[in-house]
Amino acid sequence: MTTGILRRLDSFDTDTQAAIRTVRDAMRLARSLEGCTLASTKSDRSPVTMADLAIQAVVARRLAEASPSDSLIAEEDATLLRTDPDLSSQVVEAVRQIIRDATVERVLAWIGDGGSDLGSRFWTLDPIDGTKGFLHGRQYVIALALVVDGGVQMSVIGCPRLSLLHADGPVTIGERPPHGGIAIAVRGHGAWWSSADQNTCSRLAVSTGREVSIARVVQSFEGRHGDPERFARVLHSLGNVQPPSLMDSQAKHVTVAAGASDLLMRFPPNAEFHDAVWDQAAGSLLIEEAGGRVTDLAGQPLDFTGGRRLLRNTGMLASNGLLHRAALEAVQRTR
C-alpha cells in the first residue's frame, strides 16, 4: 500500500536526485524506442536490443559526470557494436536524444564503463531488465542501485509500464493507461513511488497478510528463467492454490514493496545458475525499505560482494516479512 506520507523529490540527497533524473531520462528514451526489434541473442540466450545499449550508454555517461570516482557494473558490453556498424549508428542516434555530443567512439567507451571491477562503492545497472517484456508489450524496468561496502545504499527503478493506483490504501496494478513511475529506496529512509513526472512521491509499505495459503505470489513470466516444477511443488506444500502472477523484471519487486504481491520466489533453472548483481540489488533494497524481507532460498542475505554474479547465493525469496519463515520452510521441504 501507499501510506499517504508524501515527500518532495528535491528533499532527497544529491546522489538520489541525480539517479532519479538519470532514470527518468532513460525511461523517456526507452519509451521512444519501444517497438524496436531484437538486435542479437547473447551466449546465455538472453536477448539484447539497441535500447539496452543506448540506455546503458546514457546512464554510464551521467554517472561518470556526477560521480567520477565510482565504478559501474552493468549488464551489456560493446562487443556487438564493434562488429555491427548499422546497429552502432542506430544506438548513437538514440543516445543523441539525451546526450547531444554522443559519437560512436564515446558511446562505445560509455557502454564499456559498465565492465568495471567491483570497488567498495559501485553502481549497478540493468538498462532494460526484462528485455523480453520490453519486446512483447509486457513489464520491463530500468534498475539502478548504489552499493557501498557490500550493502545496497540506494536504488531507483524506472517502470515505464507499471501504474500503482490509489494514492491511499490498497494498491492495484493498473495496466491501462500505463502512466509509469519510479520506485525509490534509500537505506534507512524508506521506499517511495512517484507516478509519471510528479515532483512528489508517496511512501510504500508491504502487505500485512500472514496466511501463506492465500498469499499473492508473483514469479517470472519466462518459465525458462526459473524452475516451474519446483515452484509448483513449493506452492502445493504451502497449500496455495491460486495461480501465481507472471511478470517480467524487477517490476515484481515493486509490486511486493507496494503490497500488491505478498511473496516472490526465484528458483535457478539449473545448479550452475546465479542471478546477476543488477537483477537483484535495486529491487532487494526497495522491498526491505518497504518493510519486507529478502534472502536466498537458504535464508541467507544476498551477498553483493562476490563479483558480477551472486555466486554465494542460490535463488531468492522476497516477502512481506510475515510470510518469510513459512515460505523458507516450504522451500527446504521440497528440495
Which of 15, 126 has the CB closer to Mg ion?
Answer: 126
Q: Which entry of ligand AMP, Mg ion, none binds 190, CB below 5 to 8 A by partner kind?
A: none
- Residue 114 CB burial class (10 angstroms; 0-12, 13-18, ≥19): buried
Is the separation of the CB atoms in 145 and 111 below 8 Å? no
**Nearest distance from C-beta of residue 216 to ligand AMP, angstroms:** 17
- In the region spanning residues 87 to 126, those forming contacts with Mg ion, defined by CB under 5 A, are 126
Strand-pairing partners, residue 183, are 157, 193
Q: Which stretches of the chain are assigned E, i.e. beta strand?
A: 2-8, 38-41, 47-49, 71-74, 121-129, 141-148, 151-159, 163-165, 172-174, 181-186, 191-195, 200-204, 217-220, 245-247, 263-266, 293-295, 316-319
How many Å apart are CA 40 and CA 60, to the nearest integer?
Answer: 21
Integer Cα distance of 81 and 218 in angstroms = 35
Output the smallest distance, CB 96 to ligand AMP, in A: 26
224 binds ligand AMP (CB under 6 A): yes
Q: How far is the CB of 308 from ligand AMP (least distance, A)?
A: 11
Q: Specify the amino acid at residue 188.
A: G
Instruction: Say whether 117 is catalytic.
Output: no
Residue closer to ligand AMP (CB basis): 25 or 248: 248
> Which is closer to Mg ion, CB of 126 or CB of 288?
126
CB nearer to Mg ion: pick between 126 and 296: 126
Nearest to 304 by CA among 186, 151, 143: 151
Subset of residues 22 to 81 that bind ligand AMP, contact rule: CB under 6 A: 44, 46
| C-alpha to C-alpha distance for 192 and 5, rounded to whole angstroms | 9
* 301 burial via Cβ count (<10 Å: 0-12, 13-18, 19+): middle
In this chain, which of 126, 227, 288, 296 binds ligand AMP, going by CB under 6 A? 126
Annotated catalytic residue 52: yes
- Which of 273, 303, 312, 329 is close enough to bind ligand AMP by CB under 6 A? 273
- Residue from 15, 76, 279, 296 touching ligand AMP (CB under 6 A): that is 279
**C-alpha span between 315 and 330 (Å, rounded):** 14
Nearer to ligand AMP, 15 or 296 (CB): 296
For the CB of residue 224, give the shortest distance to ligand AMP in the complex, in Å.
Answer: 6
Active site residue: 16, 49, 124, 131, which one? 131
- CA distances in angstroms from 263 to 159, 192, 219, 254, listed in the order given: 20, 19, 9, 12
- Closest alpha carbon to 250 in 313, 210, 294: 294
Q: Which is nearer to Mg ion, 75 or 275 (CB)?
A: 75
Work out whether 220 is an interface residue with ligand AMP (CB under 6 A).
yes
**One of 129, 227, 262, 275 touching Mg ion (CB under 5 A):** 129
The number of angstroms, rounded, from the C-alpha of 181 to the middle of its chain's C-alpha atoms is 13
One of 15, 70, 76, 129 touching ligand AMP (CB under 6 A): 129
State the catalytic residues.
52, 131
Binding-site ranges for Mg ion (CB under 5 A) = 75, 126, 129
Instruction: Report the interface residues with ligand AMP, using CB under 6 A.
Output: 44, 46, 126, 129-130, 220, 222, 224-225, 248-249, 269, 273, 276, 279
